[in-house]
Structure 1
Amino acid sequence: MNTERTLGDVATKLVMENERVRIWEMRLDPGERSDLHRHDHDYVLVQVTGDRITGEFEPDTAGEFSGSVEGEVVPGQAMFISRGGIETAVNTGTEPYYEILIELKD
């Protein structure tokens, strides 16, 4: 049995990076899934547009969430999330989803 998995980026486009932060955009059309990814840094997520988003967490995730977590998108809402999550984001809504994700490197 092959237990190796391929991890992708934490979002769809790297916007900016310096020694302290890495800023990403995440854009998902309705029904679209992100790459499976691991959050190696604490981060701030800011929702911009969309209506529903789901995080599907791997059994060995080390973050604060587990299983499948679905929520309503609240444009402008900012959330601090601790490192360790291994997940796939899924746009379970009917509108395009867009967020800004800011990884804190120190």
Structure 2
Amino acid sequence: MAGVGSEKVFENDKVIVWNFVLEPGEETPVHTHEHSYMWYAIEGAPLHIYDKDGADLGIFEVPTGAVYSLKCQDGYLEVLSEIGKGARVPATHKARNDGDRPYREVLVEYKDAMPAGGSV
């Protein structure tokens, strides 16, 4: 997921941990998730999601304190956690912070298969 995390804070043979900040109105570059992952929203915001061609995929409301688990498979991400469960987006996309405050999260990518249970 190079180019998305604001700062890589840890990496070993099993995980990569990212600190991620997206200012109001700022958007990520188009990027491709290659691993399943989870994230914790330190400060939530509405994230507007677009596919690689710029088509609008909708707004994903991310509340402060929410924890998400996503499975990456066959070019798509599927939300496994209770909040947002079943939502699917292309693994290649971009996101824009449509809120009025910075969006902040800690994201953990799993280099191998998802941990047992598949969700957090």
Scaled by the length of structure 2, the TM-score of the pair is: 0.69
Partner residue in 1 for 2:21: 27
TM-superposed CA distance for 1:67, in Å, is 4.6
User: For residue 66 of structure 2, what is the aligned residue in structure 1?
Assistant: 77
Deviations 1:38-91 (A, max 9, x none): 0000000211113311221226xxxxxx95231222111111112230011210
Check whether the contact 2:35–2:109 (CA below 8 A) recurs between aligned residues: yes
Q: Any residues of structure 2 matched to 1:1-106 within 5 Å, and which?
A: 8-58=2-52, 67-83=56-72, 84=75, 85-106=91-112
The answer as to whether partners of 1:47 and 1:78 remain within 8 angstroms in 2 is yes
CA distance in 2, matches of 1:26, 1:56: 18
1:8 deviates by: 4.7
TM-score by length of 1: 0.77
> Among the aligned pairs, what percent are the same residue?
31
Q: 3-state DSSP class of the match of 2:60? A: strand
* Between structures 1 and 2, the one with greater strand share: 2
Runs (5+) with no aligned partner, structure 1: 1-6, 60-65
Rounded Cα–Cα distance in structure 2 between residues aligned with 1:45 and 1:54: 17
Alpha-carbon distance in structure 2 between the residues aligned to 1:104 and 1:8: 14
Over aligned residues, Cα RMSD in angstroms? Answer: 2.0
- Report if the CA contact (8 A) 2:20-2:107 is conserved: yes
Distance 2:56 2:25 in 1: 19
